[in-house]
Structures are given as structure tokens and as C-alpha cells.
Amino acid sequence: MKNKKAIIIGASSGIGKGISLGLLENGYKIGISARRKERLDEIKKLNPEMVIVKEYDSSTEKNDKLINLLIEKLNGVDLIIYCSGIGIINKELDYSIEKKVNNLNVLGFTQVVTHAFNYFLKKGEGHIVNISSVASEIGNGISPSYNASKAYQANYLQGLRFKAFRMKMPIFLTDVRPGFVDTDILMGNKDKLFWVAPLDKACQQIIIAIERKRKIIYITKRWKIISLLIKILPERIIRLFF
Ligand SMILES: NC(=O)c1ccc[n+]([C@@H]2O[C@H](COP(=O)([O-])OP(=O)(O)OC[C@H]3O[C@@H](n4cnc5c(N)ncnc54)[C@H](OP(=O)(O)O)[C@@H]3O)[C@@H](O)[C@H]2O)c1
């Protein structure tokens, strides 16, 4: 049987690394990218034949080149996953910080998914996955750009789902919305947070959602409760937490 092929952007740590390892175990050939090459090389060492590595800064608006290169080296691709993301506490509301977050979470994301969608249009099928967040559903006073960028991602993916439906194309778009997962992005604050999912458990659930071509998935499932509360509670209550 032909190997399935996937590209994972932001594979050097956390959720992107976990998904990469899971797909590798499931027999995928993978093209992985991020800035920390040494970490990508550790994944390659596990199965050199099945892993293509490309060190890349995805905040630079040259992601079309990155995706083209990985597609060429993999000789085609079935699944493209955007896991790169940053969130920076910005109590002073410094514009340069907001711009840094948006460059990766908005511009880099948009370039990867538009390029992926257009590639799959030509190919006639495909699957795009993005890791947004439960944060996509509410504003945040201490890191406004993070939550706003995640709202953009979730909305954008829904738009592309509508587009694929209208075009009657079998292009699937999966929006993964984690609550808290135990990765570096929590910056050592794990103990101050609640419902922090172990990384392995989160990645297992994400891989199942990918296999099932789910539209939206909460990681872990209980975060759907928070999503519902965000929708029904008045802002005067919600603002006490954000
Ligand atoms: N963990 C959580 O609680 C949680 C909750 C909700 C959503 N998420 C989302 O999940 C995604 C993955 O985050 P994570 O939790 O796995 O954190 P992480 O371990 O910090 O992973 C972030 C990934 O983004 C990559 N990245 C950062 N800047 C980049 C750049 N300029 N160019 C290319 N890649 C870059 C990093 O690679 P390099 O530094 O090597 O470039 C790394 O591979 C993010 O979008 C995050 O917002 C996480």
C-alpha cells in the first residue's frame, strides 16, 4: 500500500512534534519544519527514510516556497498541518509584540493554508489541519493578539470549509481547539492552570480527529463546556477571567 504523506509546520516541539511522531508511527512519510533544526533532526533520526527536514522561519511570508519544497521532496502530499504558533503576554500593549504574534499566527498561517488549499484544488483532494485554541472564542486583555489571531484562524478555516463545500471538492479542514496542553507555550505556569492535558493524550486525540476528518475538535473534550460557558455567560462575568 502507498504511504500517506503529511507536512507539519511547527514540528520541533509540543503538539507539532507529538503529531509528527504519531503520524510517523502510523506509517506516514512526513515533511517537517520549524526554526530549531537540531530538534527536527532528532525526529529524523528515528526513521531517516520517512522524514524530510527543512529549517524555516514561518513568520517571514515565504511559506509558499517552504510548502513547494516539501511537496517536491515528498513527491506529493495528502495532509498539511499548521502547528506553529506563539503567544506573548503584552500588558504594556506594545505594538511590536502584537506584530510579532500576528506575523506567525495570522500571516504565516494564511500563507500556508491558502497555498495548501490551492494545491489540493489542483490535486482534487486533500486535508488541512490547524491548531487554533479555545482562546479563539473570547478576547484576552493581557495578550490580545494571541486570542484575536486564534479567532482569525478558526474563522478562516470555516470560510475555506464553506468554499470547499460550494466547489464540491473533497478538501477537508480540521480546526483543533485545545484548552491547555502541557507544552513550552505554558511557560512553566502549568500548576497555576486547570484541566492541563498531558501532551501524549492531546496528540492521540488530535490524530484520531484527523483520521476521522473532523471539522472542529476540542482538546480535551471537556473544554467544550468552557466553550459553551463563553457563549452563554454575560461579558460582565466573563471579563473577570480574561
Ligand atoms: N499548549 C497549549 O496549551 C495550547 C493551547 C491552545 C492552542 N495551542 C496552540 O498549539 C500550537 C502549538 O503550540 P505548542 O503548545 O505545541 O507550543 P510549542 O511547544 O511552543 O510549539 C510551538 C511551535 O511553533 C514553532 N514556531 C514558533 N515560532 C516559529 C516561527 N517563527 N517559524 C516557524 N515555527 C515557529 C516552534 O518551533 P521553533 O521555535 O523551533 O521555530 C514550535 O515547533 C500553537 O499554535 C498554540 O497556539 C496550544
How far does residue 236's CA lie from ligand 1's centre (Å)?
31
C-alpha cell at 84: 506553529
For residue 168, the CA-to-ligand 1 centroid distance in Å is: 32
Ligand 1 atom at shortest distance from the alpha carbon of 59: 31
Find the radius of gyration of the CA atoms of the chain. Answer: 17
For residue 124, how far is its CA from the centre of ligand 1 (angstroms)? 30
Residue 140: DSSP 8-state: -
- As a 3-state breakdown, the chain gives helix, strand, coil percent values, each rounded to 5, of 55, 15, 30
Ligand 1 mean position to 176 CA, how many Å? 13
The domain in which residue 75 lies consists of: 5-238
d(CA 238, CA 231) in angstroms, rounded, equals 10
User: By C-alpha distance, which of 24, 34, 21, 23 is closest to 63?
Assistant: 34
27: left (phi over 0), alpha (psi -120 to 50) or beta: left
DSSP string across 191-224: GGSSSEEPHHHHHHHHHHHHHTT-SEEEESTTHH
Residue 119's CATH number: 3.40.50.720
Closest to 132 measured CA to CA, from 95, 94, 96, 181: 181
CB 77 within 8 A of CB 71: yes
Q: Which three cell numbers stand for residue 12?
A: 520541533
Ligand 1 site residues, Cβ closer than 6 angstroms: 10-16, 34-36, 57-59, 83-87, 104, 131, 133, 178, 180-181, 183-186
| DSSP single-letter state for residue 186 | G
- Ligand 1 closest atom vs CA 199: 1
Tell me if residue 28 falls in helix, strand or coil.
coil
H/E element, 223 = helix 223-232
First-to-last alpha carbon distance for the chain, in angstroms, is: 49
Quick one: which atom of ligand 1 is closest to the CA of 82?
45
**Full pLDDT tens readout for the chain, 242 residues:** 678 999 999 999 999 999 999 999 999 999 999 999 999 999 999 999 999 999 999 999 899 999 999 999 999 999 999 999 999 999 999 999 999 999 999 999 999 999 999 999 999 999 999 999 999 999 999 999 999 999 999 999 999 999 999 999 999 999 999 999 999 999 999 999 999 999 999 999 999 999 999 999 999 999 999 999 999 999 999 888 88
The Å distance, Cα 166 to ligand 1 centre, comes to 32
- Going 197 to 201 to 206 to 209, the CA torsion angle's sign is negative
Q: Which residue's CA is minimally distant from atom 43 of ligand 1?
A: 10
Q: Report the atom number in ligand 1 closest to the C-alpha of 58.
A: 32
Identify the residue whose C-alpha is closest to ligand 1 atom 36: 10
State the total domains in the chain. Answer: 1
- 104 Cα–ligand 1 center, Å: 10
pTM: 0.97
Measured between alpha carbons, how far is 231 from 224 in angstroms, rounded to an integer? 11
